Amino acid sequence: MSVFELRKRRSRFRKNVTEDLAGYLFMTPAILVLGAFVILPIIYAVYLSLHRVQLLGGIEYQFIGLRNFTRLVEDDRVWIALWNTVQYVAIVVPCQTILALILAVTLNSGVRGKNWWRILYFLPTVTSSAVLTLIFMWIYNADGLLNDFLAFLGLPTYNWLGDPSVALKGIMIMNIWSTAPFFMVIYLAALQDIPQSLYEAASLDGASEWQKLIRITVPILKPVTFFVVAMGIIGTFQLFDQSYIFSGGTGGPNNATLTVVLLIYQSVFRNLQMGYAAAIAFLLAGVIITMTLIQRRFFGGEKM
C-alpha cells in the first residue's frame, strides 16, 4: 500500500469519526430525554418488582425475588381485571376500527356538507374523556336520559350502572363512539391517496361499490389498518379513567369494571404495594406486546 493511499484512508477515517461524533452530539438531547423518562423508569420498575417497598415511616426496600410475580397467579382480582380488559379490547378494537372505516368511506364518497359532517363526527374526540364519562353516567343513571326514553316508549327501565353484566358494556359503547372519529381521520387521509384510476378501471370491468371496497380499498388500507389496530390495542389495554369514574375507583359493581390499570392504581395508592403494582404493570406490558406482535403477523405489518 502506498503512502498516498494510507493517508487517504486515514483522512476518510477521521472524517467518518468526526461525522459520527457530530451526529451523536445532535442526538444527545433526545438520548438524555429518552434515558431519563423511558429507560431509567423501566429499570426502576424492574427493581421495584423484585422488592417489597415500605412507604410509611420512610421508604425501605426488602428484596423478595420473584414473589410479586408468583403472587399474580394466586390473586383472583388480577385475573378478573385481565379478563375484563381482554373482553373490552376484543369488542372495542374491532368495532371502532370498522366504524372508523365506514365513516371515512362515507365522507370520502362526496357526501353533501362533508366538512360539517367531519366536524360533527370529530367532536367526541376533542371532548375531555372525564366529561364524556360524566355525560354517559347521567345517560345510564336510574333516572337518566336512557331510562326516561324507555319509559316514554312504555318499555321497562333498567339499572345500567348497577348490573355487573351491563356496566362494562356501557363503557365499551362510550369509547367506541368517542374514539372511532380519531381513527376515521387516519383512514380518510389514506383513502384520499388511493388513485382514482383503480376505481375507474374497476367500474369499466363492471365491479359494484361493494366489490370496489372489498377488492381495492380494504387491501390497499391494510398497512393503515395495522396501525389503527395496534394503536387501538395499546389504548384499550390502558383503560383507566372511564372505569375509575364509573365505579368511583372500586372497579364495581362486583369487579365488573375492574381493569388492569385500575388494579395497578389501587395497589399503589390504596394498598401501598408498589412492588406488586410494578409486577402487574409488567404483566400488562407483556400482554400488550404479545397482542401487538400477533396482529402484526396477521396484518403483515413488516411490509409497511
Summarised one tens digit per residue, pLDDT across range 47-57 is: 999 999 887 77
Quote the mean pLDDT of the chain: 88
302 falls in which pLDDT band (50, 70, 90)? very low
How high is the pLDDT of residue 1?
57
Can you give the pTM of this predicted structure? 0.86
Q: Torsion angle of alpha carbons 289, 170, 185, 86, nearest 10°?
A: 10
Mean pLDDT of 63-88: 93
258-289 burial: b if 16+ Cβ within 10 Å, else e: bbbbbbbbbbbeeeebbbbbbbbbbbbeebbe
Q: How far apart are CA 117 and CA 105, in angstroms?
A: 13
Given a cut of 70, whether residue 172 has pLDDT beyond it is: yes
Mean pLDDT of 137-155: 89
Q: How far apart are CA 63 and CA 46, in angstroms?
A: 12
Given a cut of 90, whether residue 276 has pLDDT beyond it is: yes
Given a cut of 80, whether residue 112 has pLDDT beyond it is: no
Q: Where are the alpha helices (DSSP H) in 50-126?
A: 67-74, 76-108, 114-126
Evaluated on CA atoms 68, 69, 73, 79, the torsion sign reads positive
Query: Which contacts of 139-143 are long-range, i.e. CB under 8 A and separated by 24 or more positions?
Result: 140/170
Q: What is the pLDDT of residues 208-225, one digit of tens each?
A: 888 988 889 999 999 999
Given a cut of 90, whether residue 162 has pLDDT beyond it is: no
Mean pLDDT of 78-88: 95
How high is the pLDDT of residue 3?
62
Q: Is the bond preceding residue 41 a cis peptide, omega within 30 degrees? A: no
Are the CB atoms for 201 and 210 separated by under 8 Å? no
Given a cut of 50, whether residue 303 has pLDDT beyond it is: no
DSSP 216: I
How high is the pLDDT of residue 87?
95
Q: What percent of the chain has pLDDT over 90?
A: 50
How high is the pLDDT of residue 206?
86
How high is the pLDDT of residue 6?
66
Given a cut of 80, whether residue 298 has pLDDT beyond it is: no
Q: What is the pLDDT of residues 21-36, one digit of tens each?
A: 888 888 899 999 999 9
Mean pLDDT of 215-242: 91
2 falls in which pLDDT band (50, 70, 90)? low
Mean pLDDT of 265-273: 91
More confident residue, 280 or 121: 280
How high is the pLDDT of residue 231?
92
Given a cut of 50, whether residue 304 has pLDDT beyond it is: no
Given a cut of 60, whether residue 58 has pLDDT beyond it is: yes
Q: If you search the block for the grid coordinates 381482554, which residue do you land on?
A: 86
Q: What is the pLDDT of residues 4-23, one digit of tens each?
A: 676 667 777 677 778 788 88
How high is the pLDDT of residue 293?
87
